[in-house]
């Protein structure tokens, strides 16, 4: 840490201590019942209270902790450069514990006890569905949802800052059909809402581009054996697998697919939630050639994104919770910055109607993967989308970005 | 034809995984009358041992070899300290072992930080026979399963230790009167069952991801296998596991995959209704 950074951080040290301990040992946080990260300076009007509701514990804790760290990182940056029009941001965390039942109560605390001005968070669609009503309707508070998802969320005062199915499919699927020459698609999927709605959209794009879907199939989330699926892939001469199976059913499927020689015989495995974290879930040889499409990859050549990564690495040295697109971390960063832009536009007014009206046409010049802008009246953001292919360099995996589409329309609402 | 062979191989490989997991559970249930709900976590500890050895740069092999020993010792300590208090109360034994399992599972979850970890196969790659590729590690699992079944059967059915174990099971009072230390035998049997679970965990973890829930996803199917095969015999659970494994991997070919899981249960329960003692009647080892 450089000298100037140290001076800036000293005042916050006491508060940060607690928060970084939480990040390091996220699974203890459940007992603590919420955390506050206060700015080190005050403003006459008091701080802007930002609530983060994310999964610090439970099955998707790795993503939740990444979200929390990115939120701290973004807010500290804003506070260090003078806050929003001179008002600092105070962060309030509640653990949603990967469990919608627990989440609803904890989110209510943010609203009723802490009186936050905005809530960001929720990763799975089930979580969003569970907490949006306590936040938006009963809680009368602005809600920002950061994860890539299945679309069709058009609730007033709920802004989505992650990519929609259109953003993930509109460029990727034509690429696989026209450039890679794939014609026969299989859609193996986990049996819940995200794969079902994403597949519905992807199927339309596949058929519109002259290819066909050989089968679309849903599995229990923890299925351990896929030989029947592999059989259908071989039998149906499938040359492109559009996968939406998720962990824990994911790894046995990918392994059996690899063992069947699918990739060796020219097949392409594609998966639109694969970021840098997911690659570590598999041996490198099974990941070779995987095609993904996201709003950000660490490998993209963008100076601002590189500065962000460096800052994040410095703030959380050696962290196991990466700043990546698939775990909603990029959406979280964008959400915080969109909120900053909106409050700046209202001239510091924090009322929900005022901020939402400003948010509706907010623009970010910079961000992970480039800038983003809200599509007025549509609650979703245009952003750059990237197609990347996974390369195996002697047992080490990395993404190679092969395509960039500027300001892709979310086509939602 | 090619496809049929591959399909048969895959089913055989998965069936072997099921049998490996069920074997330890079956031994403890049949020999001691304890339904060990911590079995999934003993499998997890076996898998975790491999992960530790891989993480410390030793590679996976030392972990695979150490896993049955380590988990066997854990089983021995558990039996001596906790399980031995449950023999008179099988229902409380279920709850007690469930609690033990929960504690182990959440500790490992904490140690892993909630992440999934990929463990490479100790021998990766495939070999070709007649133009068909077969995964070496899956073949290794099939072979090991056969060896373990044969070894366990010989130990329990053909050695004097096995005779004493069976005697202690049949009539503990008489066994003690004959000078057999039933306490020590139970500890040995439980440790043996735990070691089998540890071995199963170590062998299967390269096929799946290491996560705290690796054991629990197989646990219910494992209990179903024991029930289907019949409690009280050695062969019963093995046959039960083969049937459940083959159905679980074969059924998705003919019905919707989401229906396959419940269908396995329906078929197994219907069978048990018609033949309550399972495939093989109790009392004969």
User: Could you read off the pLDDT tens digit of each residue along chain B, which spans 285 residues?
Assistant: 777 888 889 889 999 999 999 999 988 888 888 899 999 999 999 999 999 999 898 888 999 999 999 999 999 999 999 998 988 888 899 999 999 999 999 899 888 877 788 888 888 888 888 878 888 999 999 999 999 999 998 988 889 888 888 888 778 888 889 888 888 888 999 999 999 999 999 999 998 888 888 888 888 889 999 988 888 788 888 999 999 999 988 888 888 888 888 899 899 889 888 888 888 765 544
**Domains with residue ranges and CATH for chain A:** 3-163+302-377 (3.40.50.2300), 166-294+386-408 (3.40.50.2300)
Question: Residue A260 and residue B249: Cβ atoms within 8 Å?
Answer: no
> What does the pLDDT read at residue B42?
96
Token output for A159? 């802004």
Mutate: best of B121, B252, B254, partner A, most A CBs <10 A? B252
Q: In whole angstroms, give the CA distance from residue A285 to residue A53.
A: 37
Instruction: Report percent pLDDT > 90 for chain A.
Output: 73
**Structure confidence at residue B281 (pLDDT):** 65
Query: Does residue B39 lie within any of the structural domains?
Result: yes
| A228 at interface of B, judged by CB pairs closer than 8 A | yes
Whether A237 contacts chain B with CB within 8 A = no
Chain A residues closer than 8 Å to B253 by CB? 227-228, 231-232
Contacts of A58 in chain B (CB under 8 A): 114
Which has the higher per-residue pLDDT, A62 or A83? Answer: A83
> Cβ A218–B214 below 8 Å, yes or no?
no
pLDDT > 60? residue A124: yes
Q: Is residue B249 part of a domain?
A: no
Please tell me the distance from the alpha carbon of residue B222 to that of residue B216, in angstroms, as a whole number: 10
DSSP secondary structure of A114-151: S--SEEEE--SHHHHHHHHIIIIISS--EEEE-S---S
Distances (CA, A) of A205 to A198, A261, A291, A412: 11, 27, 17, 15
Rg (CA), chain B: 19
Using an 8 Å CB-CB cutoff, list chain A residues near B117.
280-281
Cα separation of A235 and A241, whole Å? 14
Q: Give the confidence band of A112 by pLDDT, cuts at 50, 70, 90.
A: very high
Q: What percent of chain A has pLDDT over 70?
A: 92
Alpha-carbon gap: A244 to the closest alpha carbon of chain B (Å)? 15
Structure token pair of residue A362: 């907010």
Minimum mean pLDDT among A7-21, A49-63, A233-247, B190-204: which range? Answer: A7-21
pLDDT score recorded for residue B127: 86
Give the pLDDT score at B10.
86
User: Into how many domains does chain B fold?
Assistant: 1
Residue A32 — pLDDT band, cuts 50, 70, 90? very low
Q: Of A57, A227, A263, A322, which to mutate for an interface test with B (greatest number of B Cβ within 10 Å)? A: A227
Q: Which of B207, B170, B194 is nearest to A251 (CA)?
A: B207
Question: Which residues neighbour A256 within 8 Å (Cβ) at sequence distance 6 or greater?
Answer: A225, A226, A227, A229, A230, B10
**A30/A22 Cα distance (integer angstroms):** 10
- Calculate the CA B36 to chain-centre distance: 11
CB-based contact A320 B115, cutoff 8 Å = yes
Residues 80-109 of B with CB under 8 A from A: 109
Taking residue A8's Cβ as centre, other Cβ atoms within 10 Å add up to 15
- pLDDT (0 to 100) of residue A41: 78
A119, β-bridge pairs: A51, A143
Of A173, A179, A180, the C-alpha closest to A212 is A173
Among candidates B48, B53, B104, B71, which has minimal Cα distance to B190? B71
Note the pLDDT of residue B282: 54
pLDDT score, position A157 = 95
List the beta bridge partners of residue A120: A52, A144
User: Cβ B251–A228 below 8 Å, yes or no?
Assistant: yes
Q: Is the pLDDT of residue A135 over 90?
A: yes
Using the predicted structure, report yes or no on whether residue A18 has a pLDDT greater than 80. Answer: no
Q: What is the 3-state secondary structure (H, E, C) of B197-238?
A: HHHHHHHHHHHCEECCCCCHHHHHHHHHHHHHHCCCCCHHHH
Interface check A61 vs B, CB under 8 A? yes
Asked if A58 has any chain B CB less than 8 Å from its own CB, the reply is yes
With respect to residue B242, please indicate whether it lies within any of the assigned structural domains.
no
At A33 the pLDDT is 56
Sign of the Cα pseudo-torsion (A78, A324, B107, A101, in order): positive
Given CB atoms, is B10 within the 8 Å cutoff of chain A?
Answer: yes
Q: Which residues sit opposite B242 in a β-bridge? A: none
SS3 assignment, position A184 = strand
Give the residue among A55, A16, A36 at the shortest CA–CA distance from A115: A36
Give a yes or no: residue B262 inside a domain: no
Residue B118 and residue A282: Cβ atoms within 8 Å?
yes
Q: What is the pLDDT of residues A179-220, one digit of tens each?
A: 999 999 999 999 989 999 999 999 999 999 999 999 999 998
Q: Residue B208's closest chain A neighbor by CA?
A: A252
| Mean pLDDT calculated for residue range A71-95 | 94
Q: Which domain holds residue B8?
A: 2-216
pLDDT at A409 (0 to 100) = 94
Whether residue B136 lies inside any domain: the answer is yes
Residue in B closest to A190 by C-alpha: B258
**What band does A28 get if pLDDT is binned at 50, 70 and 90?**
very low
Residue B239's CB is within 10 A of a number of other CB atoms, namely 20
The full DSSP string for chain B is -HHHHHHHHHHHHHHHHHHHHHHHHHHHHHHH----TTHHHHHHHHHHHHHHHHHTTS-HHHHHHHHHHHHHHHHHHHHHHTGGGGTT-HHHHHHHHHHHHHHHHHHHHHHHTT--EE---SS-SEEEETTEEEEHHHHHHHHHHHHHHHHHHHHHHHSHHHHHHHHHHH-HHHHHHTT--HHHHHHHHHHHHHHHHHHHHHHHGGGSEE-TTTTHHHHHHHHHHHHHH-TT-SHHHHHHHHHHHHHHHHGGGTS-HHHHHHHHHHHHHHHHHHSTT-SS-SS--
Does residue B112 sit within a domain?
Answer: yes
pLDDT at A11 over 80: no
Which of A218, A259, A282 to mutate to probe the B interface, most B CBs <10 Å?
Answer: A259
Of A46 and A219, the one with more pLDDT = A219
Residue with tokens 């490998």: A299
Q: Is B142 contained in some domain?
A: yes
Sign of CA dihedral A366, A371, A377, A378: negative
Asked if the Cβ–Cβ distance from A280 to B118 is below 8 Å, we say yes
> In this structure, is residue B138 part of a structural domain?
yes
Rounded CA gap, B105 and B99, in Å? Answer: 10
Residue A243, CA distances (Å) to A194, A217, A255, A257, A271 in order: 12, 10, 13, 11, 5
Q: Does A248 sit within 8 Å of B213, measured CB to CB?
A: yes
CB contact under 8 A, A228 and B248: no
User: CA Rg, chain A, in Å?
Assistant: 21
Distances (CA, A) of B74 to A357, B26, B66, B77, B275: 61, 18, 12, 5, 36
Q: pTM of this prediction?
A: 0.83
Q: Which tokens belong to A31? A: 């007992």
Query: Interhelix angle for A3-10 vs A13-24, to 10°?
Result: 100
Q: Mean pLDDT for chain A?
A: 88
Q: Concatenated DSSP letters for B61-74?
A: HHHHHHHHHHHHHH
């Amino acid at each position: 840490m450089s000298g100037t950074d140290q001076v800036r951080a000293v005042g916050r040290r006491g508060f940060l201590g607690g928060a970084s301990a939480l990040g390091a040992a996220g699974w203890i946080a459940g007992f603590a019942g919420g955390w506050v990260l206060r700015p080190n300076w005050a403003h006459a009007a008091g701080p802007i209270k930002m609530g983060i509701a994310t999964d610090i514990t439970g099955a998707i804790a790795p993503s939740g902790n990444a979200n929390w760290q990115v939120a701290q990182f973004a807010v500290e940056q804003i506070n260090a450069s003078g806050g929003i029009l001179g008002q600092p941001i105070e962060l309030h965390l509640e653990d949603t514990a990967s469990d919608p039942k627990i989440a609803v109560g904890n989110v209510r605390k943010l609203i009723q006890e802490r009186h936050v001005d905005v809530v960001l968070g929720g990763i799975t669609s089930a979580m969003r569905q569970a907490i949006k009503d306590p936040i938006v309707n009963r809680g009368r508070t602005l809600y920002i949802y950061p994860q890539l998802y299945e679309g069709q969320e058009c609730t007033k005062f709920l802004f989505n800052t992650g990519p929609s199915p259109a953003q993930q499919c509109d460029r990727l699927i034509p690429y696989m059909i026209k450039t890679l020459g794939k014609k026969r698609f299989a859609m193996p999927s986990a049996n819940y809402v995200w794969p079902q709605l994403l597949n519905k959209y992807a199927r339309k794009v596949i058929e519109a581009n002259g290819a066909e879907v050989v089968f679309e199939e849903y599995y229990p989330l923890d299925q351990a054996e896929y030989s029947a699926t592999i059989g259908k892939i071989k039998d149906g001469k499938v040359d492109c697998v559009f996968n939406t199976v998720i962990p824990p059913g994911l790894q046995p499927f990918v392994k059996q697919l690899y063992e069947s020689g699918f990739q060796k015989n020219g097949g392409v495995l594609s998966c639109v939630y694969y970021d840098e974290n997911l690659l570590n879930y598999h041996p490198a040889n099974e990941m070779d050639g995987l095609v993904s499409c996201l709003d950000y990859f660490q490998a993209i050549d963008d100076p601002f994104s590189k500065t962000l990564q460096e800052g994040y690495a410095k703030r959380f040295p050696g962290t196991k919770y990466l700043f990546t697109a698939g775990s909603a971390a990029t959406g979280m960063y964008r959400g915080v910055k969109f909120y900053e832009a909106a409050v700046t536009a209202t001239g510091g007014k924090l009322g929900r109607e005022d901020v939402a009206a400003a948010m509706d046409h907010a623009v970010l010049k910079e961000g992970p993967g480039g800038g983003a802008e809200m599509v007025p009246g549509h609650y979703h953001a245009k952003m750059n989308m990237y197609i990347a292919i996974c390369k195996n360099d002697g047992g080490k995996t990395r993404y190679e970005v092969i395509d960039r589409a500027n300001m892709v329309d979310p086509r939602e609402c | 034809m090619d496809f049929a062979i591959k399909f048969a191989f895959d089913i055989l490989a998965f069936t072997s995984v099921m049998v490996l997991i069920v074997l330890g559970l079956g031994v403890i249930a049949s020999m001691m009358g304890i339904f060990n709900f911590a079995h999934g976590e003993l499998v997890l500890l076996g898998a975790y041992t491999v992960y530790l050895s891989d993480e410390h740069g030793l590679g996976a092999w030392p972990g695979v070899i150490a896993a049955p020993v380590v988990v066997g010792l854990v089983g021995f300590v558990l039996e001596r300290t906790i399980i031995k208090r449950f023999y008179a109360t099988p229902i409380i034994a279920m709850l007690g072992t469930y609690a033990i399992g929960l504690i182990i599972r959440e500790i490992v979850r904490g140690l892993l930080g909630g992440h999934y970890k990929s463990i490479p196969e100790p021998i990766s790659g495939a070999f070709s026979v007649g133009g068909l590729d077969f995964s070496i590690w899956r073949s290794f699992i099939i072979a090991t399963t056969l060896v373990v079944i044969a070894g366990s059967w010989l130990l329990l059915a053909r050695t004097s230790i096995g005779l004493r174990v069976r005697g202690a099971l049949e009539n503990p009072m008489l066994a003690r009167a004959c000078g057999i230390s039933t306490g020590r035998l139970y500890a040995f049997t439980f440790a043996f069952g735990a070691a089998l679970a540890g071995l199963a965990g170590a062998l299967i973890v390269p096929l799946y991801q290491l996560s705290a829930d690796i054991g629990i996803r197989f646990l219910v199917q494992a209990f179903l296998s024991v029930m289907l095969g019949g409690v009280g015999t050695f062969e019963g659970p093995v046959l039960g596991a083969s049937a459940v494994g083959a159905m679980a991997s074969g059924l998705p070919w003919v019905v919707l995959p989401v229906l396959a899981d419940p269908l396995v249960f329906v078929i197994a329960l219907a069978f048990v209704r018609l033949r309550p003692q399972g495939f093989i009647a109790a009392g004969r080892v």
